[in-house]
Structure 1
Amino acid sequence: MTTRRLVLLRHAAAEHEGDLGDAMRPLSAAGRRQAGAVGPLLEAATGGIDLALVSTALRTRETYRILATHLSAPPRVVESDAVYEAGARSLLALLREVPEDTRCVLVVGHEPTMSTLAHLLAGSGREDLAAQVSLGMSTASAAVLEVEDWASLDRSAAALVDLVRSPGQA
């Protein structure tokens, strides 16, 4: 059976909301550096991404565009309001609909959804990482999980195998 990878990435650091509104917050200068630094790390951790599900918030789209310049092959990209608005359970429902021939999915989203879903799915793997993820994920951090198939993805059905962080993250 083919093992698949799910990468749950919290967007890089963004500017404060101000008058722009949450969805239009751009990345800060530090966030642009984070996104550029995490791109090669994600490529190394995954060996390539087939599908990127990206929230429609400006900061997630910018995070993805910057990190994607470091990917060896461009994945299929779906920008979705559903990812922006998703809680852990609704994002899980979206992931269950991923085609079975998809080997690696990257989700670029928001806290607390990214860490909550990673913790919900992690039934095995590195317990030290699961404990860290349960406390939340810092900006430009990604939980890398191994899953057997997309359609039956559920609580404790994945192995948390890595936590990728932009350099300088704790």
Structure 2
Amino acid sequence: MKTLTLLRHAKSGWDDPVARDFDRPLNPKGRRAAQLIGRHLRQSDCTFDHVIASPAVRVVETLAEIGDGYGAVLAPEWDRRIYLASAATLLDIVHELPEMATRVLLVGHNPGLEDLVLTLVPDDGAALRDEVEAKYPTATLAEMTLDGRWTEAGRGTATLARFTRPRDLDPTLGPDSD
């Protein structure tokens, strides 16, 4: 069995005067949320034997903050294809994952991550999938299990085991608070 965990980068700073979207940093709320998710991963005994991520500044900073909360550095393989990728591109990346990896963390952006979950997990009326479809907020984790090889991942082949938003762990990190 394989476990694929998708993490959307934490909340970025739209007020920051950067020339390119790629260079947008996290804002203070995003930093807090990422550290909280890192602590949650540590408390849940989540481990990863392969990490792959977008090299966008907000993803790099998210992983640094996650690492602070997790208590370990998550050293990813940086893949520029993940930056603003579609679900189809992300699925291609999943198909290329090393077969020896059984617990993978993929860190990137929406709407690609949300669309990938909705592609891999069958629409069987499960409440957790419905939550993903309603909204995949920043700094949110979606953990799926897949039977078989990474190359066999496809429509309806995954089970959504966990969908954790920062506000589930700390209501002050919800959408209506700063």
Query: Which residue does the alignment assign to 2:8?
Result: 10
User: Which structure shows the bigger proportion of residues in strand conformation?
Assistant: 1
| Cα distance in structure 1, aligned partners of 2:30 and 2:71 | 22
Q: Deviations over 1:82-140 (max 9, x none)?
A: 11042101110111111122111111111111111011101278811101111230111
Deviation at 1:44, TM superposition (A): 4.2
Following superposition, which runs of at least 4 residues in structure 1 exceed 4 angstroms of deviation? 72-76
TM-score when normalising by structure 1 = 0.89
Q: Deviations over 1:24-66 (max 9, x none)?
A: 0000011100110001223444620111111111001100111
- Structure 2: tracts of 5 or more residues without a match: none
Give the superposed CA RMSD.
Answer: 2.1
Report whether the alignment pairs 1:113 with 2:119: no
| Cα distance in structure 1, aligned partners of 2:151 and 2:133 | 24
Aligned residues: 168
Query: Which residue does the alignment assign to 2:62?
Result: 63
| Cα distance in structure 2, aligned partners of 1:75 and 1:15 | 23
Query: Which residue does the alignment assign to 1:153?
Result: 153
- Structure 1: tracts of 5 or more residues without a match: none
| Cα distance in structure 2, aligned partners of 1:129 and 1:30 | 25
Identity of aligned residues (%): 29
| Cα distance in structure 2, aligned partners of 1:6 and 1:125 | 20
TM-score when normalising by structure 2 = 0.85
Equivalences for residues 64-143 of structure 1 within 5 A = 64-71=63-70, 74-123=73-122, 127-143=126-142
